[in-house]
Structure 1
């Protein structure tokens, strides 16, 4: 999710809504936004503080300095605006939920595509092995050498898959994305199934 998830004026209203729940300092507001969006949107200080200053100018919030922290608190006028725009806030909440869900679906789709590719590679390796010279015309040492080569090929396939999935997941999270437990559970189930398919193929 990018900052565009908040259309014009939405972030301002959402900040007011968070302050209506309780007084907060700037970092707390940034963390709350990250939490409410499942980690898919983490605003910068350059995004939050100018909006807080504008809200203060409009008389909707006040600020007090508490040690090193500046705490923002909603005013009666700010509460009145939140109350009058409850419908808009419900729409923002629904949009945020849809955005988080869509990102999770994209991650699951990427995992499914990677698993399909892995299964295709395993099937191709199996078909390639079957297309070789019949076993009755191949000496045992050559047969073992071919099997060892296929094991090495399988290592490459699995390692490439592992590296790609780790890179995609880390990049996604580093950009503020969410990696839900359900996605990891799905990967685990898919890998278990792929392992079972390989075991069945080896026993034939």
Structure 2
């Protein structure tokens, strides 16, 4: 990605920020982020060593205000900023160009990522449809068991309804319902029940 600051430009830009007034470290990092539209957010590892170097050069002083360390430009720092006004104008112009290029790169990356995502989703949808037409979907064992339970309930209820209807209709029409027929029915149902219980127990 296009760098925001060329070599040495960040040093001068930090001085220009302090030329506007004293700032603590986080405030400096936030100002850099704000002025680049959020495209450049420097780390503490980038800013504090440069501030320490500026202090060594006598261009910046620092003082402790509670839990914050405040940096303030010196007269020598003011003099350097004033003498390099032209360089600062160039940095500002370059900064605008860099931010614009970065924004373009980000927009391009987002567009490419969205295109790739749409392509992946379309491919996944095609694959899922193809698989659905070619192979039966693997079912969860518990879901399959619940489905079979519903089938068993339906079968038992249908059998019960048929037998009751046939027997009642036969008796209503004056037919004889022999005890042996009922005994056979009970015996058959009992035999079926025992067979199903054995199957369930494995």
Question: TM-score, normalised to structure 2's length?
Answer: 0.53
Match of 2:38 in 1: 39
Q: Which has the larger radius of gyration?
A: 2
Q: Distance in 1 between matches of 2:55 and 2:110?
A: 46
Match of 2:67 in 1: 68
Moved more, 40-49 or 23-32: 40-49
Structure 1 spans left out of the alignment, 5+ residues = 123-148, 150-204
CA gap of 1:110–1:58, structure 2 versus 1, over 3 A, is: closer
Secondary structure of 1:5 counterpart: coil
CA gap of 1:70–1:112, structure 2 versus 1, over 3 A, is: closer
For residue 110 of structure 1, report the CA deviation from its aligned partner. 4.6
Match of 1:26 in 2: 25
The answer to whether residue 10 in structure 2 is matched with residue 8 in structure 1 is no
Q: Distance in 1 between matches of 2:116 and 2:25?
A: 45
Q: Distance in 2 between matches of 1:49 and 1:112?
A: 36
Q: Distance in 1 between matches of 2:117 and 2:67?
A: 53
Question: TM-score, normalised to structure 1's length?
Answer: 0.53
For residue 116 of structure 1, report the CA deviation from its aligned partner. 11
Q: Distance in 1 between matches of 2:46 and 2:23?
A: 16
CA gap of 1:97–1:117, structure 2 versus 1, over 3 A, is: same
Q: Distance in 2 between matches of 1:14 and 1:82?
A: 9
Structure 2 spans left out of the alignment, 5+ residues = 123-128, 130-202
Q: Distance in 1 between matches of 2:18 and 2:8?
A: 16
Q: Distance in 2 between matches of 1:41 and 1:66?
A: 27
CA gap of 1:80–1:5, structure 2 versus 1, over 3 A, is: same
Q: Distance in 1 between matches of 2:4 and 2:105?
A: 16
Match of 2:87 in 1: 88
Work out whether residues 4 and 99 of structure 2, in 8 Å CA contact, stay in contact via their aligned partners in 1.
Answer: no
Q: Distance in 2 between matches of 1:108 and 1:8?
A: 26
Aligned length: 126
Q: Distance in 2 between matches of 1:115 and 1:49?
A: 40
Higher relative contact order (CA 8 A, sep 6+): 1
Q: Distance in 2 between matches of 1:26 and 1:106?
A: 29
Secondary structure of 2:61 counterpart: strand
For residue 5 of structure 1, report the CA deviation from its aligned partner. 2.8
Q: Distance in 2 between matches of 1:91 and 1:24?
A: 24
For residue 22 of structure 1, report the CA deviation from its aligned partner. 1.1
For residue 99 of structure 1, report the CA deviation from its aligned partner. 1.5
* Aligned Cα root-mean-square deviation (Å): 3.0
For residue 117 of structure 1, report the CA deviation from its aligned partner. 9.6
